[in-house]
Amino acid sequence: QNGHDLWLQNKNPKTVHVVTAKQSPTIDIVKNELLKGWQGTEGSTLTLTIKKDRSLHRDGFKITPTTIQANTDLGILYGVYELLRRQQTGIYINENINNPSYDRRVLNHWDNPNGSIERGYAGKSLFWRYGKDSLAVTESDRKLWQEYARINASVGINGSVLNNVNASPMMLTAGYLERVKAIAEVLRPYGVKTYISIKFSSPSLIGGLSTSDPLDADVIKWWNNKIKEIYKLIPDFGGFLVKASSEGQPGPQDYGRTHADGANMLADALKPYNGIVMWRAFVYSANDEDRAKQAYNEFVPLDGQFRDNVIIQVKNGPIDFQPREPFSPLFGALKKTAIMPELQITQEYLGHSIHLAYLAPMWKEFLDSDTYQEGKGSTVAKSTDGSLFNQKISAISGVANTGLDTNWTGHTFAQSNWYTFGRLAWNHELSSEQIADEWVKLTFSPFDLANSQTKPDFSKNDWSNNFLQPVKQMMLDSHEAVVDYMMPFGLHHIFSANAHYGPGPWYGPERVRKDWTSLYYHKADSLGIGFDRTTTGSNAIIQYEEPLRSQLSNLETCPENLLLWFHHVPWDYKMKNGKTLWDNLAYRYDAGVKKVREFQKIWDMAKPYVDSERFYEVQSKLRNQNRNAQVWKDACLLYFQEFSNMPIPYDLERPMHDLEDLKISTMKRPLDYK
């Protein structure tokens, strides 16, 4: 088992007669999936009906064990994947209405035209290649893109941004656009729309203009022509994703214009074709203002100024995809502008493709967070899915973790995060437990769960008790384990160097940009540790609505898992369990390491139930994760101890590394011990 089939492993299909009056490339896919994957009663008849039904959204469907009804061919396709999934996971099928939470469910690929992937840990790009003839489209390209499209469609993902947000202007040149067209043709019948990221200064970089000022008539004309050219090639092109005036990228502010000026100019040009602009709010500069406050300060004054085909793309937290962050205060605060969450599927800050971290609990925590912006119950989910605010577009995006590795994502368990992104984008009310349950069954079950139980030499019950349940539990505990051994209690961004992998709480005093150092974020000193974001500090809490604001401001009521995000806390502060902050830190780091050791045992015991290729891959990665977790614990405790001057509790095992050694080795390269 090389993992290439992910959660789409068709086993012993039964025969099914498909009844439908419709013919189209999408319906051909539907029939083929049923042929390969039907697990219902042998010889059943399945009736597919496409008719106008107001209770269904464009992609929605109704299913029973023998019927699927939808408004569109794509609705039927999603219905088929749902039906097959239920058959394969043994879930009883009731008739129900199944509408997606978000209209646009989009992967953001940070792929560069030379085939490398920014923050990618699973090999090179699926779309772009390096070298001579790199733009020639081959049969194997098409085959791969088709597999990719199918995987996405199977979990409802319906959009792909094909290149990095740090965009090359080359992407808008003829050769690249031809390749986008070729990709779009393969993705189209699966309902996956193509989008690209653009560089804001393209008019001057490749258009020969002297400016890229969004209010300049020639610039506007250039974009209009470019967009016309794109739609000629790709009539259903989705639109642009834009990182502008952000981390050194050019943008409207270079010309004294606002984000709204920039976004609207592009939106106007895309409007006649129904294209959209996903404009990122990931903006901050190295000034004296707390980085966590800057996006809100920039965008809230612009609320209401954006066109209705602009949607602001906001990372889940106010800083940057850290192991744990509070939700970005922009959610719920932008009331007259569509806003979409940006999640990170690739584990830039969560152990790359080496650490096992199932991200559903983190994303659920975020989506379920109450912003209180329209009273109690104004969750992030509701403030983005169109139920709380009247927005023309609803969308959610995830930074993809895919690459050319045979198993697509590097770590077998990282496949679950791609799966989860799709499932939550479709239905943000699914629980982490249910998604894990589905994924483990689809990915590892040796049984055709709906039917026979004879195949391997153990029973379905054995498999469920000794594999499914413990592995699921390991997944559910895994994100919190990473938080514990990396950054408990709201610590954030204390990595060594730009690889964002190993620990480096000491990192960066020599750097010019203070906001790119660890010291900026943890602020450890002889008195305590943590970033004071209350009124005595940066006052970032002002950006949250009451009663949350008061809750966060008060040391006693601030959730302990975000304590050091909002407060500078004395080392000897007594926490809820009666122990000091310092002792709690030590126990938490230790608990994180111990959890990984438990995962190793769970996985070793799972050996009889999993093929050897995936077994050894995961086993070896867990060993690596265990070593890394120990390094994180030692590095952080020994370093912070220099400020706390308190002993590591004596019932805990002592560090195994010397701080000075760790400083040298983690500065040089990420501690992956490969």
**3-class SS string, 291-339:** HHHHHHHHHHHHCCCCCCCEEEEEECCCCCCCCCCCCCCCCCCCCCCEE
Question: Which residue, 89 or 402, has its beta carbon nearer to ligand BDP?
Answer: 402
Question: Which residue, 78 or 495, has its beta carbon nearer to ligand BDP?
Answer: 495
Residue 289 catalytic? no
Our CA dihedral for 643, 644, 646, 648, rounded to 10 degrees, sits at -90
165 is an interface residue for ligand BDP by CB under 6 A:
yes
Question: Which residue, 313 or 371, has its beta carbon nearer to ligand BDP?
Answer: 313
Q: Classify 64 as helix, strand or coil.
A: strand
What track of x and - describes contact with ligand BDP for positions 72 through 111 (by CB under 6 A)?
----------------------------------------
Q: Rounded CA gap, 134 and 137, in Å?
A: 8
369: left (phi over 0), alpha (psi -120 to 50) or beta: beta
CB contact at 8 A, 105 and 395: yes
The residue type found at 663 is: K
- Contacts within 8 Å (CB) and 24+ apart, 170-176: 170/113, 170/206, 171/113, 171/196, 171/197, 171/198, 171/199, 172/196, 172/198, 172/202, 172/206, 172/226, 173/206, 175/135, 176/113, 176/135
Please, what is the minimum distance in Å from the beta carbon of residue 150 to ligand BDP? 28
Positive/negative CA dihedral, 552, 556, 559, 560: positive
DSSP 516: G
Question: Which residue, 247 or 572, has its beta carbon nearer to ligand BDP?
Answer: 247
568 is an interface residue for ligand BDP by CB under 6 A:
no
Please, what is the minimum distance in Å from the beta carbon of residue 563 to ligand BDP? 24
282 is an interface residue for ligand BDP by CB under 6 A:
yes
**3-class SS string, 172-223:** HCHHHHHHHHHHHHHHHHHCCEEEEEECCCHHHHCCCCCCCCCCCHHHHHHH
Please, what is the minimum distance in Å from the beta carbon of residue 114 to ligand BDP? 16
Largest CA distance in the chain: 76
What value does the CA radius of gyration of the chain take, rounded to a whole number of Å?
25
Q: Rounded CA gap, 85 and 380, in Å?
A: 28
Question: Which residue, 349 or 389, has its beta carbon nearer to ligand BDP?
Answer: 349
CB contact at 8 A, 47 and 75: no
308 is an interface residue for ligand BDP by CB under 6 A:
no
Question: Which residue, 118 or 216, has its beta carbon nearer to ligand BDP?
Answer: 118
**CA end-to-end distance (rounded Å), the chain:** 23
Q: Rounded CA gap, 412 and 614, in Å?
A: 7
Please, what is the minimum distance in Å from the beta carbon of residue 63 to ligand BDP? 38
Residue 374 catalytic? no
Please, what is the minimum distance in Å from the beta carbon of residue 367 to ligand BDP? 20
CB contact at 8 A, 112 and 167: no
Q: Which residue in the list 73, 213, 320, 583 is annotated as catalytic? A: 320
Q: Which residue in the list 28, 42, 247, 642 is annotated as catalytic? A: 247
CB contact at 8 A, 98 and 79: yes
Q: Which residue in the list 33, 111, 213, 348 is annotated as catalytic? A: 348
Our CA dihedral for 351, 356, 357, 358, rounded to 10 degrees, sits at 150
Find the helix packing angle between 217-233 and 174-187, rounded to 10°.
40
Question: Which residue, 27 or 122, has its beta carbon nearer to ligand BDP?
Answer: 122
Question: Which residue, 247 or 653, has its beta carbon nearer to ligand BDP?
Answer: 247
Q: Rounded CA gap, 451 and 41, in Å?
A: 9
Number of CB atoms found within 10 A of residue 655's CB: 18
Please, what is the minimum distance in Å from the beta carbon of residue 180 to ligand BDP? 21
Please, what is the minimum distance in Å from the beta carbon of residue 88 to ligand BDP? 35
Q: Classify 586 as helix, strand or coil.
A: helix
Which residue in the set 57, 86, 104, 119 belongs to the binding site for ligand BDP (CB under 6 A)? 119
Which residue in the set 53, 118, 147, 268 belongs to the binding site for ligand BDP (CB under 6 A)? 118
Question: Which residue, 118 or 368, has its beta carbon nearer to ligand BDP?
Answer: 118
Question: Which residue, 213 or 348, has its beta carbon nearer to ligand BDP?
Answer: 348
Please, what is the minimum distance in Å from the beta carbon of residue 552 to ligand BDP? 24
Please, what is the minimum distance in Å from the beta carbon of residue 283 to ligand BDP? 10
Number of CB atoms found within 10 A of residue 43's CB: 10
348 is an interface residue for ligand BDP by CB under 6 A:
yes
166 is an interface residue for ligand BDP by CB under 6 A:
yes
Please, what is the minimum distance in Å from the beta carbon of residue 670 to ligand BDP? 13
Which residue in the set 102, 145, 321, 421 belongs to the binding site for ligand BDP (CB under 6 A)? 321
298 is an interface residue for ligand BDP by CB under 6 A:
no
Please, what is the minimum distance in Å from the beta carbon of residue 166 to ligand BDP? 5
Q: Rounded CA gap, 523 and 508, in Å?
A: 13
Please, what is the minimum distance in Å from the beta carbon of residue 348 to ligand BDP? 6
382 is an interface residue for ligand BDP by CB under 6 A:
no
Residue 247 catalytic? yes
320 is an interface residue for ligand BDP by CB under 6 A:
yes
Question: Which residue, 281 or 618, has its beta carbon nearer to ligand BDP?
Answer: 281
DSSP H helix total and E strand total for the chain: 20, 15
234-263 residues in contact with ligand BDP (CB under 6 A) are 243, 247
Q: Rounded CA gap, 541 and 326, in Å?
A: 11
Question: Which residue, 249 or 624, has its beta carbon nearer to ligand BDP?
Answer: 249
**CA nearest to 125, candidates 163, 98, 171, 86:** 163
Residue in the shown chain whose Cβ atom is closest to ligand BDP? 320
Q: Rounded CA gap, 265 and 262, in Å?
A: 5
Using CB under 6 A as the binding criterion, the count of chain residues that bind ligand BDP stands at 10
The residue ranges of DSSP E strands in 365-420, in sequence order, are: 395-399
Residues at the interface with ligand BDP (CB under 6 A): 118-119, 165-166, 243, 247, 282, 320-321, 348
Cite the active site residues.
247, 320, 348
